[in-house]
Amino acid sequence: MTGDRTEFFGRNGMAAHPVAMTRSPTFRKVGSGLDPCGAMQLQFDLAAGQEREIVFVLGAAANVDEARSLFGAFRGVRSCPRCSGTGLALWGRTLRRAVLETPDAGLNALVNGWLVYSDLACRFVGAQWFLSIGGAFGSGDQLQDVMAWFTAEPGLCAKHLLRAASHQFSRG
pLDDT along the chain (172 residues), means of 10: 83 82 75 79 88 81 89 75 68 75 90 78 60 53 73 80 71 56
Residue whose C-alpha is closest to residue 74's, from 63, 87, 62? 87
Residues 137/168, Cβ–Cβ less than 8 Å:
yes
Q: Environment class of residue 26 by beta-carbon count within 10 Å: exposed (0-12), middle (13-18) or buried (19+)?
A: exposed
Q: How far apart are CA 146 and CA 171, in angstroms?
A: 21
Predicted pLDDT at 170:
67
Radius of gyration of the chain (CA): 20
Residues contacting residue 137 through CB under 8 Å, at least 6 positions apart: 127, 164, 167, 168
Predicted pLDDT at 139:
60
3-state secondary structure of 67: helix
Predicted pLDDT at 133:
46
Predicted pLDDT at 84:
65
